Amino acid sequence: MARARLFGSLCGLVFLVNLARIVFAPLLDVFITEFAIGEGTAGLIVTLAWIGSASLRLPTGWVLTRVPRHYIVLVAGVILAVSSGMAATATTVRHLMAGAFLMGIASGVYFVSANPLLSELYPERVGRVMGIHGTASQVAAVIAAPFVALTLLVDWRLSLWAIAGGAAVVTAYTWFAASGTEMPTAGRADRDFVAGALSEWRLIVTALAIVGAAVFVWQGVFNFYDLYMQSKDLSSRTSKTMLTIVFAAGVPAFYFGGDLADRLPHVQYLLGIVGAFAVSLFALTVVEGLFALIAVTAVVGFVAHAVFPAVDTYLLDTLPDSTRGSAYAVFSSAWMFTQALGSSAVGLFVERGYTYDAVFGGAALFLGALVLVLVGLERAGRLPN
């Protein structure tokens, strides 16, 4: 019961952590108007949130070799509460960027500490637990656009104040739940950060090679999805609904994807997901009509989000106790830096006159070619399972 209570509190905290990262996407058009900036600068605000998410993952991994994981989870909650309040008071673009960066830091510290903790709390059901935890995270993404639309009836800052207040309350409850739970001892063997990470370099590089480019593209796609749909002559309200559909499709992707990750060969499953994402993204650039866009949007959202529980299960289920925290922190840090650049890249291409269809279509073709190369390497036995 105590372990289930802690798991529930972590699902609540990950909901807020992910909402803090996603909330900026439906606010981009507000920022463009409020602060008189262009798409490139607006994209940089989002990029800073994701760079923040990547920036302290490596140091956090080192700290985890000396401090219990649940302590760092609590620190992440405190950072989120404080930084969200800071962003809510922003009066300049630089102030807002600083707040977004710190909110990103909170998410990075959280995921590096919470994911290994969960895999050790439930070692026999890693994929299942990652899927449920990811589902809680994804629900935040689903409600982000309507949540922002609702707060805009008062003030866009209200969305950030709500995250700050929620983080304070849930962090306090997580502390209470953790104090009554017997923590796993598996992580105690992971005491040499550098040696642990270096010993698993082939696994880390393989995971990055398979999913790195995909999440770079996905970052740019979903943060500009609202504006992308508007470029296809959809109304602002309809385009925000399409963004919601993208994230809603991720809920079953996490829930069922975690189970599938437990049952299917890890590498082949990941390659199949990335290939499906490339095909569906290319289809999105050529289809016309509202109903066709809705259908392809749902497919894109499903396969893109299925990547996350699959890669987490691949690593956390494969890494031994003695290197799990260290190696996962290195992978997570590199992966997040890869993701963080996606929004700025898309914003810069659009500002230079390229259409969204051209940018996303080119990205889909690149991903497809990359998957073919990786499939060849896998067939030749060059990728570790």
Domain positions in the chain are 2-379
DSSP 294-308: HHHHHHHHHHHHHHH
Q: Splitting the chain (385 residues) into consecutive groups of 10 residues, what average pLDDT does each group show?
A: 87 95 84 80 82 87 90 96 93 91 94 93 87 93 85 90 96 92 77 84 92 92 89 88 89 91 91 97 94 96 95 90 88 82 85 92 96 93 77
| Residues 44 and 99 sit within 8 Å (Cβ to Cβ) | no
Q: What is the pLDDT of residue 133?
A: 95
3-8 long-range contacts (CB < 8 A, ≥24 apart) are: 3/121, 3/181, 3/182, 5/177, 5/180, 5/181, 6/70, 6/121, 6/174, 6/177, 6/178, 6/181, 7/118, 7/121, 7/122, 7/129, 7/133, 8/177
| Residues 359 and 225 sit within 8 Å (Cβ to Cβ) | no
CATH number of the 2-379 domain: 1.20.1250.20
Q: What is the pLDDT of residue 2?
A: 78
Q: What is the pLDDT of residue 158?
A: 94
Q: What is the pLDDT of residue 320?
A: 87
Q: What is the pLDDT of residue 307?
A: 95
Q: What is the pLDDT of residue 24?
A: 87
